[in-house]
């Protein structure tokens, strides 16, 4: 089972953990950015506070797969929220409909543009992807992937974390506990 570290421990000035980089899971970024104003206010405030303190001690990164998962979250979420709040009908996300609305509905396009700018800022400034030159997407990762314990995005995040001198992930996803104890999880 992965090693759990309480966040308060690594924030102590006497912290003995040799952490350099901390990788963030998608759920942390969603709860921090709160792109639709839907996150419980106290959770958003707590995560914002921790992230700001962690940033002053360590380098915090995402990975490209996390950016992809986050983009999917805002794209599908934005479409669902817009269509239902503006047109009063709940249509399940469709990429074809999304493109049509983006091209024909100026209000949709303007609102989506705000989310896009926010997306770029999130991964350019707040949580830049870790070591973009490293290539870990080998076929071995796919062949050895056990889809019954974690999803594929989690597996890639784990693979990246294991490349760190001190492998550590900040997440709220309990699935990561199924990894061996070489992996460290920061618990909120």
Partner 1 sequence: MYTIMVCEYLHNTNLLSPDLGQKLRKKIVTKNNNRNKIILDFAGYDYMSSSFLNQALGYILINKKWSIREFKKNIKWINVNKDDKLDFDLALENARNKLRLIQNNIDPEKFFREHLPAC
Binding piece for partner 1, criterion CB under 8 A, among 40-48, 138-146, 155-163, 177-185 = 40-48
Site for partner 1 in 148-177 (CB under 8 A): none
Interface size with partner 1, residues (CB under 8 A): 38
Site for partner 1 in 62-101 (CB under 8 A): 72-73, 76-77, 80-82, 84-86, 88, 90
Q: How many Å apart are CA 49 and CA 54, to the nearest integer?
A: 9
**Binding residue for partner 1 (CB under 8 A) from 3, 5, 15, 27?**
27
Q: Side-chain half-sphere of 139: how many Cα atoms within 13 Å?
A: 0
Q: Which is nearer to partner 1, 124 or 134 (CB)?
A: 124
Residue 23 has φ and ψ, to the nearest 5°, of -95, 140
* Residue 118 within binding range of partner 1, rule CB under 8 A: yes
* Residue 140 within binding range of partner 1, rule CB under 8 A: no
Q: Which is nearer to partner 1, 3 or 48 (CB)?
A: 48
Angle formed by the axes of helices 95-104 and 106-121, nearest 10°: 110
Q: Tell me how far, at minimum, the Cβ of 128 lies from partner 1, in Å.
A: 14
**Binding residue for partner 1 (CB under 8 A) from 5, 7, 11, 39?**
39
β-pair partners for 24 = 170
Residues 6+ apart with CB under 8 A from 22: 54, 58, 59, 60, 61, 168, 169, 170, 186
Q: Which is nearer to partner 1, 6 or 121 (CB)?
A: 121
Q: Tell me how far, at minimum, the Cβ of 117 lies from partner 1, in Å.
A: 6
Residues forming contacts to partner 1 in the complex (CB under 8 A) are 26-27, 30-39, 41-42, 44-45, 48-49, 52, 72-73, 76-77, 80-82, 84-86, 88, 90, 111, 114-115, 117-118, 121, 125
């Amino acid at each position: 089972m992965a090693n759990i570290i309480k966040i308060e421990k690594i924030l102590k000035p006497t912290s003995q953990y040799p952490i350099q980089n901390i990788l963030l899971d998608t759920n942390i970024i969603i709860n921090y950015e709160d792109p639709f104003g839907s996150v419980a206010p106290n959770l958003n405030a707590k995560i914002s506070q921790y992230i700001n303190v962690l940033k002053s001690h360590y380098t915090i990164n995402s990975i490209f797969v996390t950016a992809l998962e986050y983009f999917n979250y805002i794209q599908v979420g934005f479409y669902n929220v817009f269509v239902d709040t503006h047109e009063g009908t709940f249509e399940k996300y469709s990429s074809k409909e999304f493109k049509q609305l983006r091209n024909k509905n100026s209000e949709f396009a303007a609102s989506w543009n705000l989310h896009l700018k926010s997306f770029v800022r999130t991964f350019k400034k707040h949580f830049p992807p870790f070591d973009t030159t490293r290539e870990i997407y080998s076929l071995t990762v796919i062949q050895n992937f056990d889809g019954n314990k974690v999803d594929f995005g989690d597996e890639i995040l784990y693979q990246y974390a294991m490349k760190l001198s001190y492998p550590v992930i900040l997440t709220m996803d309990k699935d990561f506990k199924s990894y061996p104890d070489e992996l460290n999880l920061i618990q909120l």
